[in-house]
Structure 1
Amino acid sequence: MNLGMVEIPNNWLEEIINLSAERIVVVNREGIICYINSAYCDFIGTTVESALGKPVQDVIENTRMHIVAKTGQKELAALQPIHGTEMIANRYPLIVNGELVGALGTVIFRNPDELRLYKNKIEHLAEELNFYKAKAEKEMKSKYRFDDLIGVSPSFLTVKKLAERISGSQSSVFIKGESGTGKELFAHAIHNSSLRASHPFVPINCASIPEHLLESELFGYEDGAFTGAKKGGKKGLFQLAHNGTLFLDEIGDMPLSMQSKLLRALQEKEIHRIGGHKSIPVDVRIISATHRNLEKMVDEGTFRQDLYYRLNVVKIEIPPLRERKDDIELLSIKLLEKLEKKFYRKGIQLSSRVIERLQRHKWLGNIRELENVLERAINVLNGNKIELIHLPLYLQEPAAETNHNQHNDTNTQTNHLAAIIPLTPKPLKEIVATVEKQAILNALAVANGNKLEAAKILEVGKTSFYEKCKLYQIK
């Protein structure tokens, strides 16, 4: 069905003009006012009735509308003195069927203050845009170098030298280590020493993103791909990391359905946005990391074997802190320097007894736990030297000084259980609940309240962990 142009009533047109431009005037070739709206009349102190049909120069002070109607030359953002100030006006020639018939004038700003206010708003928006642009670019740069990786123990130095050696390669790197050992720091350092250092470093924690959002985060989506999709679509992290490095942290938590899509992207070196049909070439180096046993997961069928071999070209296994006793003092000094800036303190030291106690502890949370312990100590510190009394209670207890032999480990566990389990006989279900709740509280203390990290320490799924916290009213 062919629909012709529907004619708009004149009173509609006038209202449309009033809405689209606050102050507007139209003159013919002779400079006579053919149309002027009430907003313009209010601005210059007259009425529509008294202005219509009069020469424009008799109605509007210092106007040039009659000149533009003769010359046909537009004048944009022109300053015009009026009422003791200067307004900013636009003047356009009106050309109909190739013939100059008059001119159209609009007032953009009534005075320089209005222009200044508008300019300030634009400048503020531009500054805000530049700030977030710089922030985004900074966040996609690697923050750490190999000099930031502190340690002198043989096991750590061996791993560090291997990482430095393979930095210049284009091969995928698989970093294995317990939570808190510094896997992300190694990834940053490898990128910073690679040929891709000037390009983006884009990290993503596969465990922290819900399964239904992971695909759109990695590959992006097209405009209208799903309900709530951002207008214009969105680039995925693969595209953002083009020519750089994509760091897939906690790759062991990636769902099987996403593993196949990731494998295809790595093999084909191209991606498809959700809702899109064209392939987008991507050139990224993959560094992946996990605290899980991927070899065991491959055997159990929870991790794809072909993806494991694609990721595990170069394997770097970071030793836990309990195997790096010689590094604890050096790491503590480095962490204190970092914390001093946070707390605006200087010259904080560790007593020899504290160093000895730290070296005896097992550090299930590794370097992250060590940093949390030191931060807690600074919070309760009056002077400049951290003593045993400033450490958390679980490090002040004699049980923390047990040796690594099995006999003492068993005694420690027995002592802890004895402190938790009541002497008065109770139903087994209540005792188990008491021990379970205490284990969760201990893990949260080690993880500084981070539930995701606490769940990893206890080696339970995050859904199960959150349910337990809800059950025991742990917030």
Structure 2
Amino acid sequence: MQCDKGSKSERKNKDKRQETLDLYRNIFSNLYNWIVVVDAEGYVVMLNRAYCNFLGVKQEDAIGKHVTEVIDNTRMHVVAKTGKQEIGDIQNIKGNQMIADRVPIVKDGVVIGAVGTVIFKDLVELDTYTKKIHHIEEEFDLYKKELKKALGSEYTFENIIGDSESIEKVKNFSRKVAKSKSNILILGESGTGKELFAHAIHNASNRVDYPLIKINCAAIPTDLLESELFGYEAGAFTGAKKSGKPGKFELADKSTIFLDEIGEMPLNMQAKILRVIQEKEVERIGGVTTKKIDVRIIAATNQNLEEMVKNKKFREDLYYRLNVISLRVPSLRERVEDIPIIANHLMKKMAREMDRHVTEISHDAMRCIQNYSWPGNVRELQNIIERALNIVEKEAMILTDHLPYNITKKSKVQMDTQKNSLKDILEAVEREEIKKCLIKTSGNKLKTAKLLGISRTSLYEKLEKYNIEV
């Protein structure tokens, strides 16, 4: 009776093994890719139906034959003998250039055969796959760029205009520290471009694949700042979202958080940020668990934090945590030589955006711009250029008349106090009048001469004298 039970169990196991083997054979035979299996001597053990159809042989005829008799230019027997795999090899079969992989089959440290797979049936198929992958990569890059634009982190060091020694020194230093994991403190007056540097540093860092997370500490009310920075759990307070909300630090995990106007942060919030830096974890409002995060902090301020530390308005321990690497962005008056480059760049950029046909800034207008002290720095310069573009008419250039009085008054005083001869002053006025008339006449020299009340010959002489191009 026991023998019957044993034999039944054996038969059941045998049937199950056979069923599994038949399933594997069926899968193998119907695979789309062409596959061949050989033993240690190079004789065909298995050859799937798709491969047989291409070779024009029957499975039962191919199995048992040496692989060299079945497949042209094969190296399956070589791999079975050497035990060295061959990946992505080009093989010519029946006039087709194919891409094949050949991998040895090893059991108990001994090579008992090899399996070969035709990955691409011809080079055209490979090219199709390559183009598809390239297209996917292009789409992925596009989405990354669009995400960066949406989150405002598309600026690089190329967007920081100027080639003066002072700005180049800061740019070069910023490039060096960008790859670091250390926190950075950016100092500088309002409007110097501290945020632009934060973007550029992030985009030159190893965290560039993740968006830069930004928060202006001065723009958010104190009672909302904690929830913005650390997030909250569902039902944490009246008006909270049912699903809860992640804070800026959570969103910046594996990325960079930019804390602008850090000097405006309340002391109680400074203590909480210090804890995030020390423990590398955050806890949402109303939460009972903490979350580990990997965040790099870039902070910026136009205030004197050292003075604030002395006056107990900024935590000393937080200051030293943020001030691991510090850089100072120079003011515009410290790099006067960059002003014409920046002014022209802003003029061209905003003229395109505003659809205004303005192509240049006059010599006198530029002199006024350079002589001004620019307490608001680049931001103030941008506003002045935008104002001028709004009131330019047919001149196609920004003139001194298009600049506000506070910009031009210093240059006018200088002109009055300079020991210039009357001749120099008259020539400067004459040059500007000729330019204005040429603009009005769209460069017509005859009409310009009539407007000025001089002969054409005299006009030509003056154009050459003042080096005016028409």
Shorter-chain TM-score: what band?
0.5 to 0.7
Alpha-carbon distance between aligned partners in 2 of 1:324 and 1:162, rounded to the nearest angstrom:
17
Note if 1:351 corresponds to 2:362.
Answer: yes
Query: Which residue matches 2:285?
Result: 274
Of residues 318, 322, 331 in structure 1, which corresponds to 2:342?
331
Distance 1:343 1:372 in 2: 13
Which residue in the other structure is 2:191 paired with? 180
Query: Is the counterpart of residue 238 in structure 1 residue 249 in structure 2?
Result: yes
**Equivalences for residues 63-212 of structure 1 within 5 A:** 138-140=149-151, 142-212=153-223
Matches within 5 A, 1:311-390: 311-382=322-393, 383-390=395-402
Residue 432 (structure 2) aligns with: none
Quote the residue 1:249 is aligned against: 260
State the partner residue of 2:29: none
Q: How does 1:36-51 map to 2 (within 5 A)?
A: none
Contact 1:143 1:188 in 2 (8 A): yes
Equivalent pairs counted in the alignment come to: 272
Question: CA distance change for structure 1 residues 147 and 138 in 2, over 3 Å: closer, same or farther?
Answer: closer
Structure 1 residues 320, 216: CA separation in 2 closer, same or farther (over 3 Å shift)?
same
Contact 2:371 2:410 in 1 (8 A): no
Show the counterpart of 2:408.
396
Q: Is the 8 A contact 1:223 1:229 kept in 2?
A: yes
* Compared CA separation, residues 243 and 316, structure 1 to 2 (3 A): same
Q: 1:145 & 1:319 partners in 2: Cα distance?
A: 18
CA contact (8 A) 2:151 2:213 kept: yes
The gaps in structure 2 that reach 5 residues or longer are: 1-143, 416-470
The answer to whether the 8 Å contact 1:357/1:401 transfers is: no
- 1:134 is displaced (CA, Å) by 10
Offset, 1:400: 7.1
Note the C-alpha offset of 1:402.
5.9
Paired residue secondary structure (1:226): coil
SS in 1 for 2:249: helix
Tell me if structure 2 keeps the 8 A contact 1:167–1:190: yes
> Which residue matches 1:466?
none
Contact in 2 for aligned 1:322/1:363 (Cα 8 Å): yes
Distance in 2 between residues matched to 1:371 and 1:277, nearest whole Å: 48
Q: For residues 369-412 of structure 1, what are the alpha-carbon distances to aligned partners after superposition, in whole Å with 9 as ceiling and x for unaligned? A: 00000000000001211110000122232477669xxxxxxxxx
Distance 1:269 1:400, change over 3 A: farther
Classify 1:138/1:329 alpha carbon distance in 2 versus 1 (closer, same or farther; 3 Å): closer
Code of the aligned partner of 2:273: L
| 2:318 partner amino acid | L
Match of 1:446 in 2: none
Q: Call closer, same or farther: CA 1:157–1:134 in 2, change over 3 Å.
A: closer
CA gap 1:401/1:198 in 2 versus in 1, 3 angstroms: farther
Distance in 2, matches of 1:216 and 1:135, equals: 27
Q: Find the counterpart in structure 2 of residue 426 from structure 1.
A: none
Unaligned runs of 5+ in 1: 1-132, 404-475
With 336-345 and 222-231 compared, the bigger mean Cα shift is at 336-345
User: Aligned partners of 1:222 and 1:146: how far apart in 2?
Assistant: 39
State whether residues 200 and 243 of structure 1, in contact with CA within 8 Å, keep that contact through their aligned partners in structure 2: no
Q: Is 2:235 aligned against 1:224?
A: yes
The answer on whether the counterparts of 1:360 and 1:400 sit within 8 Å (CA) in structure 2 is no
Rounded to whole Å, the distance in 1 between the matches of 2:237 and 2:148 is 28
The alpha carbon displacement at 1:137 in A equals: 6.1
Letter in 2 for 1:372: N
Q: Is the 8 A contact 1:142 1:188 kept in 2?
A: yes
Whole-angstrom distance in 2 between the partners of 1:238 and 1:333: 38
Q: Secondary structure at the match of 2:182?
A: coil
What is the CA distance between 1:282 and its match in structure 2?
1.1
Deviation of 1:341 after TM superposition, in Å, equals 2.0
Distance in 1, matches of 2:291 and 2:149, equals 25
Post-superposition offset of 1:136: 6.6
Residue 138 of structure 1: how far off its partner (Å):
3.9
Say if 1:200 and 1:242, in contact at 8 Å, map to a contact too: no
CA distance in structure 2 between the partners assigned to 1:151 and 1:392 by the alignment: 24
Aligned in 2, Cα 1:402/1:269: closer, same or farther, shift over 3 Å? farther
Change (3 A) 1:230 1:137: farther
Structure 2 length as normaliser, TM-score? Answer: 0.56
Q: Which amino acid aligns with 1:230?
A: K
Post-superposition offset of 1:269: 0.6
Contact 1:361 1:401 in 2 (8 A): no
Per-residue deviation, residues 228-253 of structure 1 (Å, max 9, x unmatched): 11111001001111111100000000
Cα distance, 1:156 vs structure 2: 1.1
Asked if structure 2 preserves the Cα contact closer than 8 Å seen for 1:272 and 1:279, the reply is yes
Task: Give the TM-score normalised by the residue count of structure 1.
Answer: 0.55
Offset at residue 151 of structure 1 (A):
1.1
